[in-house]
Amino acid sequence: MDLDPWCGGQCSYSSPMTSLVVTDSSQLTSDTQHLCVVGATTVDLQFSLEPEDTVVEPGNDAMLHCAAGGADNSKPTIRWRGTDGHFLNLIGERFRSPLQNGSLYFSKVHPTQNVDGEYQCVANLLEVGSIVSRTARLVIAIGAEGEGRVVQHTFPLIMSLSPGDQHSLDRYFEQLMRQMQQHALPLLESEPKDLTIFPGQTAYFSCLTQGVAQVVWLKDDRPLRLDETRMLVLPSGALEIDEVMSSDNGSYRCNVSSLGQFRLSLSAALSVNKDIAAGADIMAPEFIATPRPTTVVQGSTITLDCVANGNPKPWITWLKDGITLDMAHLDGPFLKIGTGSLQISNVQEKDSGTYQCRAENRDDSGDATANVDVQVPPYFTKKPSDHYGFVNKDVELECEIRGKPEPRVHWVKNGEQIKLNDYIQVVNGYNLRILGLMTLDAGMFQCIGSNPAGNIQAAARLMVLETGANDTFVHPPPALRSSVGDTLTAFVPPPLTAIPTSTDVAPGEVSPPSSKVPSAPQGLKAVIVSTRFVTISWKPPAEPRGDILTYSVFHRQEGSQRERVVNTTGSRLEEVNVPGLTPDRTYYFRVQAYNTEGPGESSDLLIVSTQAEVHVPGAPVGLRAVGTSPTSLLVQWEEPELNNGPVQRYKLYFMEGDSAEEHHVVTAERQYELKDLGKFTEYSLWVVAFNQNGPGSSTEEIVGRTLSDVPSEPPQNITLEATSSTSVVVRWEPPPKSGQNGVITGYKLRYRKRDRRSRGDTVSTDANRRMYALTGLERSSQYQVRLWALTVNGTGPPTEWFNIETFENDLDESHVPGQPVNLKTRAMADTITVSWSPPRDQNIMVRGYTIGWGKGIPDAYTQVLEGRQRFYVIEGLDNRYYVVRYTSSHHSSNPRYKYFNSTNLNCMIDDLRPNTQYEFTVKVLKNRRESPWSMVVLNMTQEAAPSSNPRDLTVVPVEGNPSSVNLNWQPPKQPNGAITGYVIFYTDDHKKHDRDWVVEGIVGDKMTTTITRLKPDTMYYFKIQARNNKGYGPFSSTVSFSTGPNGRGWTNSMVLFIAVGCGLVILSAIFVCIVVVYCRRRSVERSKKGYLKGNLKGTKPCKTSIKPPDLWIHHDQMELKALEKTQQSMGAAGGGPSTTDGPPITVTTLPRASQDFDDSKFQHPGGSNSLDKRTYVSSYIGSKPLLNHRGALLELEGRGEGQ
């Protein structure tokens, strides 16, 4: 036994396939975090050869091959399963025997041996597991006389089907089996029919058979000698005779043979009509053979037969989905054989679609259509890969299979199909998820997909790792790290920890005690119990014995030994949410703590029962919709797998296309036919089942489409343009969407000379054309044109006749054309239609136009157009765009939003204000739908230099200092950031350049400063600019100021304020005297309120017991408004009696000053009787300074009678 060099103890190999166990880790430390591995090499097991479907004649030998091997050249054991899925006991069998290479040999097969059916080989390696091969079928071909004949190989297979047959290959195989058991040859699906034609036309006799057979044609019961210049046997077995002659009259039949067996078809008579006059009449095309709907396996070759007669002889073209096929491409898959049949080689999925055989002559045209459905065998886009996982953890094996039809996918383990349950689930498509790994989960897993075109399988090995009793630290062994590649993401271990297994510590038991690991967590309880999740919380261990790194919460369902684990995160150590539970079930929970030494003791078990859900039905299954007519849909479904009681009714919801209007019908049946729907319209459908408890889950939404019909409206916007003396260009647009009633497959044009009574000539075009040039016309003649639109169902109504006259002479080409005129655009959901008119000089020939378009620039894309074209549709444009809504952050109930449209996932919005916080939200619009607004995102624009100048710059002199002035200003309205300072420019000569002005800087956001050292009796000019971190703003307007001879300068505003102040003082004094006289006369004490300026010493207009205080407000932005105060009690200092019930005192508000001053500079000399023009004066009762809500300082000066 080899030891990993990392390990300090011993290792034991508990099982060659299931797990690795560390039994002694006493010498492991926290720095030695590796797993001791014995023989850690992955053994790959895969098939090198798988059995194939085989058809054998009775009496012949057959063999089904099978070979498998491992990466280390190990040889697996191969066994075979039969049709019933059980292993074959081949001991003593006479007809079946296994070979040494693993193949199964059949000796002299006979129907009586009952050896036909399905077989599957199983390869097994003891140390790895088992894998199963694809299923192969053995078919015994039985002839009419009991002799075997090979009539069909299953794959590849070509079939002709009815439109509703969707399980073609499986059903065909069953039909073939029944047919051979009834001792019958393949049936003739189509036999020749009598035909009467004119000389020179084409004859067609069908002979379509199922299977591979040789077809020989007989004429008058004699083998037909083929004239290779006129006669051809098509791949379908049909006989085509071109340019029929009188000698071709006779009776025709086909002989279908296969290895000696033959079947004769019915006879069909070919009659050649010799009426020359009748044969010369104009005849519209008439089909005598039309293509059949076909289902084919990818890679096969098919032929679509098509033959038509008419006069003149029709020309046959093929279209796919309304677009003409390119038959000229030598390496292309399309080839015309015979007179008009189409052969498609190496068919691919992209070749599925509707094919049209269009026969046309100058009289008319006709279409014959057939759908081709290409089935694609299953193929892997993502194969399962080897995984390893630890016990109690979850693992997900990935598998992604594509095919057409959609493959049926299932998983097998060691050759046995897996039964899904609560712990083994198929999720995310076809991925297999195993919850709570156990050692018995190890083995070989296979993802198998099958559809009628074939089946496929891929295998992967799952290894389960566990730790021993001491729960040592584990890391993936080197061998696994090198073999599983990117599948290491299947498990992410917790930091420095290993997960204990349910076999190490039984649920509810306690880990072996240790002096280094934590004790058991305490107080385990369920905080929240819901139907599908439980929130568990607990308290830390009483003895953590170090820092707790994490906790592991183990839980298992009652009756199951499969335990799962959830690890907590560091942010919320003592609480975890356990999701993914089943309603109405009982679960056992336990918790272990981890420190640097490893996992500690397990807590006691906590038993929690999840809540029960309302027993409503599950979603109905198998929802499908089939169009039954152009205006009806048949919707069918099956009962829900989970009924929870009888289903009382179903509600079928349906919604038309992109419409947001939802409709529904109620039915008790499992099908419903929706009627009166739109023609060829898609509908979204879903079904909800109801029982006695209410509605259940909804099915997945499916899309159904009603059948197509002939167009109900003609083409529109018809224009005719004469481009020369012999040609006219016809332009048109498709019928309105509501009148198309299907996919437009082409257009039919009929034109004639106006003075003639004939039907005229007919031409047909592809569906993608919007223009057609009529050539070979007569000079200076009037013509009439009308159009029809075509679908697979037929021809719609025609337009009215349009008139046009050809030129008398051809146009000049010796000069360059002028500029196109009348350029117009019309935007649709994902297209733009551009139209224009030719240059004004109509005498110059225009051979073509070049149109350019693009995002932002008009020449990102260009297209060269014909000179006759007058419009172009730019397609494939992205019709999705985004609307960005933004506004500055606000709290208004009616914000002013701005909007910006963008077709990209980013945009530049450049109309924002700097240093402003904005909120942004976005929504997407597509067609008529739009999403809700996204979450609001806040962001602030960067700062910028101030974009406006400081406001209200004023100059105030300083008393007693003729050489100094005070400057006051307001900040800019748009600072665009925090103001870091101001720059003041001043000069006595305003004609100087700015660089010659005196500059003084102000740091900070101050709004006042003092300029000193000025000259007396001098006119100065001042201006100011603000600055922030991004730069300087613009200058303010220039303010002039003159210092007087006495050193003090006066401005008009100052003189005005002084005059107003003096007037107010006089008025106030008169008012106070009147009030005092009035008060004395009535002998009533009243409060006094008014605006005073200065100290009125020696002036006593009236006598009262107490004088009102003076209120000084140092804030140029505060306005005192009229107040109403009631009589207050007298102060202790006054000692006078209190007065009550006095009338309110009216307060007159003085004008506020136009300048700001600092509080420290604001003083009131005691001897001044003048009113200070820079302050407000108010009589208001108070005793101490106050600070208002804006920070204004209120000073109250109280006076008494004797002060």
The b-or-e profile of 1059-1097 (16+ CB within 10 A means b, else e) is eebeebbeebeeebeebbeebeeeeebbbbbbbbbbbbe
- Residue 533 within a domain: no
Residues 903 and 973 in one domain: no
Find how far residue 671's CA is from the centre of its chain: 32
Write out residues in the chain with pLDDT < 50, as ranges: 1-43, 143-173, 175-184, 468-511, 571, 1047-1049, 1084-1203
Question: Is there a single domain that holds both residue 178 and residue 51?
Answer: yes
Residues 6+ apart with CB under 8 A from 594: 494, 496, 497, 518, 548, 549, 550, 551, 552, 600
Q: Which residue has the tokens 């498709």?
A: 734
Angle at 954 between CA 948 and CA 955, to 5 degrees: 140
DSSP letter, residue 844: B
288 & 262 share domain = no
The domain boundary, picked from 683, 705, 727, lies at 705
**Considering only CA atoms, which of 866, 627, 625, 590 is closest in space to residue 742?**
627
Predicted pLDDT at 586: 93
Token digits of residue 670: 């499992």
Same domain, 312 and 431: no
Q: Does 838 map to a domain?
A: yes
**Do 830 and 776 sit in the same domain of this protein?**
no
- In a shared domain, residues 193 and 203: yes
Spatial distance between the Cα atoms of 1172 and 1110, rounded to a whole number of angstroms: 13
981-987 vs 998-1003, strand pairing mode: antiparallel
What is the CATH classification number for the domain harbouring 75? 2.60.40.10
The answer on 887 and 854 residing in a single domain is no
Is there a domain that residue 129 lies in?
yes
- Close Cβ partners of 384 (under 8 Å, ≥ 6 residues apart): 397, 398, 399, 432, 445, 446, 447, 458, 459, 460
As a whole number of angstroms, the distance between CA 40 and CA 11 comes to 12
586 and 680, same domain (yes or no): no
Strands 387-390 vs 454-465: parallel, antiparallel or unpaired:
parallel
In a domain, 532, yes or no: no
The verdict on 308 and 349 lying in the same domain is yes
> Quick one: pLDDT at residue 736?
92
Domain end: 153, 184, 215, which one? 184
Residue 51 belongs to some domain of the structure: yes
Between CA 205 and CA 219 the distance in angstroms is 12
> Structural domain tally of the chain?
11
Q: Tell me, yes or no, whether 833 and 805 share the same domain.
A: no
pLDDT for 260 = 60
Tell me what pLDDT residue 34 has.
Answer: 35
Decide: 618 and 696 in contact? Cβ < 8 Å: yes
Domain hosting residue 293, numbered range: 282-378
CA 413 – CA 484 distance, rounded (Å)? 19
Pick the closest to residue 740 from 713, 705, 701 (CA basis): 713
969, 916: one domain: no
Give the pLDDT confidence of 1108-1137 residue by residue, as tens digits.
Answer: 433 333 333 333 333 333 333 333 334 444
Residue corresponding to tokens 């129907």? 111
Task: Tell me the two tokens of residue 201.
Answer: 């036309």
User: Which run of H or of E encompasses 1066?
Assistant: helix 1052-1082
pTM equals 0.55
Sort 387 into a burial class: Cβ within 10 Å, 0-12 / 13-18 / 19+. buried
In a domain, 516, yes or no: no
Whether residue 509 is contained in a domain is answered as no
Q: Both tokens of residue 636?
A: 């069918």
φ/ψ of residue 1161, rounded to 5? -90, -5
Q: Domain ends where: 586, 609, 632? A: 609
Are residue 1011 and residue 1096 in the same domain, yes or no? no
Residue 340's nearest CA partner among 364, 322, 321, 361 is 361
Q: Is residue 482 part of a domain?
A: yes
What 3-state DSSP class applies to 169?
helix
What radius of gyration do the chain's Cα atoms show?
A: 50
Rounded Cα gap, residues 984 and 1023, in angstroms: 6
At 907 the three-state DSSP class reads coil
**From the CB of residue 36, how many other CB atoms can be counted at a distance below 10 Å?**
27
